[in-house]
Chain A
Amino acid sequence: MTLMNEPIKRAEIKPKYCRFKKSGIKYIDYKDPDFLLKFINEQGKILPRRLTGTSWKYQKKVSQAVKRARHIAILPYLADQMK
Chain B
Amino acid sequence: MKNYETVFILNPVLSEDQAKDTVEKFVKVLTKAKAEIVNKEFWGLKKMAYEIQNKSTGFYNLIEFATENTGIILTLETEFRRDESVMRFLTTALDKHAVAYNARRKKGEFNRTKKTAPKKREEAAV
Q: Do A and B bind each other?
A: yes
Please give the number of chain B residues whose Cβ is less than 8 angstroms from any Cβ of chain A in the complex: 26
Which residues, 24 to 62 on B, are CB-close (under 8 Å) to A?
48-50, 52, 58, 60, 62
> B106: which A residues are within 8 A, CB to CB?
none
In the bound complex, residues from chain B placing their C-beta under 8 Å from that of A74 are 48-49
A32 interface contact, C-beta 8 A: yes
Contact with B along A45-83 (1 / 0, CB 8 A): 000000000000000000000001011111111010000
Chain A interface size range = 20 to 34
A26 to B50, Cβ gap below 8 A? no
CB < 8 Å A-B pair total: 56
B90 an interface residue at 8 Å Cβ cutoff? yes
Name 6 A/B residue pairs within 8 A (Cβ), A-sorted: A27-B98, A31-B7, A73-B48, A73-B49, A73-B58, A74-B49
Tell me the B residues contacting A by CB distance below 8 Å.
Answer: 7, 9, 48-50, 52, 58, 60, 62, 88, 90, 92, 95, 97-98, 100-101, 105, 117-118, 121-126
